[in-house]
């Protein structure tokens, strides 16, 4: 099975869609997917923060477009990704810096350092950074 390794390092709503759309599409196409959430990227799997991710400044008017296109909410995409066995790795170092505990995040994540991700990514055919 080929692998897709993703780094999520930004925490806005657009970033979340980029990450989870690619991840779920890849997982649905029988690829093994892992996402490393680091710095602001941790917002995407934070239980409260990911319910209300911000649009980029000046782009707030796209909210209507999202609703019209029937795009799933981020927590739904997170659940779907997990159901498709996408592996979530939270960055330990960022969590320490920001004073966050594993319990603040969605269930089922791994917490690890850069090497945890690199170990997965070393033989991935596709590596993406958002």
Partner 1 sequence: MNEIKANLILDAKGLACPMPIVKTKKAMTTLEAGQVLEVLATDKGSTADIKAWAGSTGHQYLGTLEDGDVLKHYLRKSSGEEATERKHPNVATNDELLTKLQNNDSIVVVDVREAAEYAFDHIPNSQSIPMGELESRLNELNKEDEIYVVCRTGNRSDFAAQKLAENGFTNVINVLPGMSQWTGETKSINN
Question: What residues have CB less than 8 Å from 22, skipping those under 6 apart?
Answer: 4, 6, 128
Instruction: Rule CB under 8 A: say whether 30 interacts with partner 1.
Output: yes
Candidate ranges 17-25, 92-100, 101-109, 111-119; the one touching partner 1 (CB under 8 A): 17-25
Instruction: Rule CB under 8 A: say whether 69 interacts with partner 1.
Output: yes
Task: Report the alpha-carbon distance of residue 27 to residue 31 in Å, rounded.
Answer: 5
Task: Please give the C-alpha separations between residue 104 and each of 27, 29, 69, 118, 123, in angstroms, as whole numbers.
Answer: 25, 30, 30, 24, 31
Q: Which is nearer to partner 1, 39 or 66 (CB)?
A: 66
Q: In this structure, how many other beta carbons lie within 10 angstroms of the beta carbon of residue 110? A: 15
x/- map, 43-62, partner 1, by CB under 8 A: --------------------
Choosing from 72, 104, 109, 128, the residue that interacts with partner 1 (CB under 8 A) is: 72
Summarize as ranges the residues that interact with partner 1 (CB under 8 A).
21, 24-25, 28-30, 69-72, 80, 84
């Amino acid at each position: 099975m080929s692998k897709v390794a993703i780094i999520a390092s930004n925490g806005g709503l657009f970033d979340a869609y980029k990450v989870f759309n690619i991840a779920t599409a890849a997982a649905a196409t029988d690829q093994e997917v892992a996402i490393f959430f680091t710095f602001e990227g941790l917002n995407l799997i934070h239980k409260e923060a990911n319910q209300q991710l911000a649009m980029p400044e000046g782009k707030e008017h796209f909210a209507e477009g999202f609703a019209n296109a029937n795009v799933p909410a981020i927590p739904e995409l997170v659940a779907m990704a997990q159901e498709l066995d996408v592996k979530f790795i939270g960055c330990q170092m960022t969590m320490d810096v920001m004073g966050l505990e594993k319990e603040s995040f969605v269930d089922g994540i791994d917490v690890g350092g850069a090497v945890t991700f690199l170990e997965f990514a070393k033989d991935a055919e596709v590596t993406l950074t958002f």
